[in-house]
Amino acid sequence: MSANAKSAMLGLALVLMAAGVSQAQSTKSNALSGLTPVTDAVLTNPPPSDWLQWRRTYDGWGYSPLDQINKSNVKNLKPAWTWSLTSGVTEIAPLIHDGVLFVTNAGDKIQALDAATGDLLWEYRRDVPAKLIAEGGNTLAKRNMALYGDNLYIATSDAHIVALDAKTGKVVWDHTVADWNKGWRYSSGPHVAGGKIVIGMSGCNAAQGGGCFITGHDAKTGAEVWRVYTLAQTGDPNEHSWNGLPLEKRFGGSAWIAGSYDPVLNTLYYGVGQPNPWIAEIRGTLPKKDGFDNAALYSDSTLAIDPDTGKVKWYFQHLENDSDDLDYSYERILVDIPVNGQMRKATITAGKIAIIEAIDRTNGEFLWAKETVPQNIVASIDPKTGKKTIRPEAIPHIGQTTLVCPANPGARGWPATAYSPRTQMLYLPMTEFCANTTPTPIEPGQTFTGGGRAVHKMIPMPNTDGNFGRLDAVKLTDRTQAWSKRQFAPMTSAVLPTAGGIVFAGDIDRWFRAYDDETGDVLWQIRTNNAVNAFPVSYSVGGKQYVAIAVGNGSSQLRNLNTLTPQIKNPDGGSMLWVFALPSP
């Protein structure tokens, strides 16, 4: 080829490249320019095509009303596009609005993608402190974000809340909530309730006496409007529930999973985690002292909060004086159900023991509880009050080994349950296992405020078939188990029921599956490139339905479950967003 010809070719290539860039930019601006403001009315009644909140709707159902993908055609589901994510923890819930998909990467990189094609529209990268990047695991997880008005609201690993312009990714405001150097962490993110940006703090075990808190912020500025402490403070009527421990020696109560909101009752429902240190003998709430209670309020509770003022309307403690790290911070599903012939406004949750518990969300009255997996911790539940009697043999003591079922990562973890109005069933992804728990003594002169301080040797549930994974469907109207599927691999994704009669869920062994919502039969499955470890979501663009799920290996809970099944080998890297659709006709 002559020099002139080469030059001409190069020129043509440059012209084509320039045209390509301009075309891409044009497409990008089109996708973003279609973004409409997310109003209170839209959040209350979102279009079926959108997935605007962590669990799609205020009530936390995690249900998609789309039915293009259904029981008869789901077998044809194919990858539509994929997108590599930063290696590490996923645990993410993408949001989709007006054809734009917002996704979190480990380490606070946020991207806006064209939801139909996977084209990158904008990217926000945060300069996360190197120490936090090195820690990895939960620290870098951000399970949810919020869309409200023209902004995308995110939490950061260094304990800020940031409002990004949803159309550009540019920072609108950046508000410091707490000092990450003191151990405060966000592993989930903000959500909207009553026009406020609400978020729960985590990491409240690292020498932060007094416990965690939930804060409400002005959406326009980020300014903190109210703060609810999750552990009883000085002057609180339940201060005596800490066995005489002063405030600076009360630890825990992380609020590390986003809450739910009832706009009619104008009430926010939030779960509170376990008290720290986990072992009551180490924490100082055992043995019980005369003249004090030792329930350790408001650990392992549901808090009902007025989002305008931060006033706690009522609380319900699911587990008193927890000594087994049996967290109750998980999602609250708000659903109206018949109880003894009367419709009740319920909030439903399950803690790590995976006992489904229904509370009247108007007043905190206990309605009912239903056990799922075998467990050896709760001996009985008072049918009127919901108060649990704990087997004394399940309370670990320093230097002794106690069999605890389920083990402390939980029969259920952050992978959320979901409710389908189609079947009136609650779907629960779970793992059956136990731990031989041996609390280790504190060294003389040492202060310990962390979580564990016990060796947890995890083992299969005794006298079972060796399967760990389990997916249950429970009919909330009559509390019967509709179906239960068990398998070797622990379940490691949240579940997604749809109007198409399908429940999507995934496991640690890289399988992502579609189950029949009425029978549990597997209708479709695909082997992905890593552990399925996020919240599946569904949306539509231009009339075409998509299902999205992230996979990856880096979650602390995932790595713990993997110790049960070390024969399941997953890649270190390779976090990815998979998006599926039916082939075009």
Name the residues that contact another protein, by CB under 8 A. 134-138, 205, 408-409, 435, 437, 440-441, 443, 446, 448, 450-458, 556, 559-560, 562-563, 566, 569
| Closest CA relative to residue 495, chosen from 478, 519, 460, 470 | 470
Residue with tokens 């189950």: 515
Please state the closest distance from residue 530 (CB atom) to another protein, in A: 13
How long a stretch of residues is the chain?
A: 585
Please state the closest distance from residue 79 (CB atom) to another protein, in A: 27
Q: For residue 52, how many other CB atoms are within 10 A of its CB?
A: 21
Residue with tokens 């060294």: 443
Is the peptide bond prior to 287 cis by the omega test (within 30 degrees of 0)? yes
Which of 324/357 has CB closer to another protein?
324
DSSP at 490: P
Which of 282/503 has CB closer to another protein?
282
Which of 265/568 has CB closer to another protein?
568
* Bridge partners, 275 (sequence order): 252
Which of 171/455 has CB closer to another protein?
455
The amino acid that residue 278 corresponds to is W
Which H or E element spans position 345?
A: strand 342-350
One-character DSSP codes across 538-562: EEEETTEEEEEEEE-S--HHHHHHH
| Closest CA relative to residue 359, chosen from 314, 423, 415 | 314
Which of 99/506 has CB closer to another protein?
506
Going by C-beta distance under 8 Å and a sequence separation of 6 or more, which residues neighbour residue 460?
432, 433, 434, 466, 468, 564
Please state the closest distance from residue 420 (CB atom) to another protein, in A: 33
Which of 256/483 has CB closer to another protein?
256
Please state the closest distance from residue 137 (CB atom) to another protein, in A: 5
- φ, ψ of residue 24 to 5 degrees: the values are -60, -40
Please state the closest distance from residue 577 (CB atom) to another protein, in A: 23
Please state the closest distance from residue 566 (CB atom) to another protein, in A: 6
Which of 60/413 has CB closer to another protein?
413
Which of 188/408 has CB closer to another protein?
408
User: Would you say 490 and 414 are in contact if contact means Cβ atoms under 8 Å apart?
Assistant: no
Residues 454, 276: Cα–Cα separation, whole Å: 12
Please state the closest distance from residue 332 (CB atom) to another protein, in A: 24
Q: Is the dihedral of CA 168, 171, 172, 175 positive or negative?
A: positive
Please state the closest distance from residue 272 (CB atom) to another protein, in A: 17
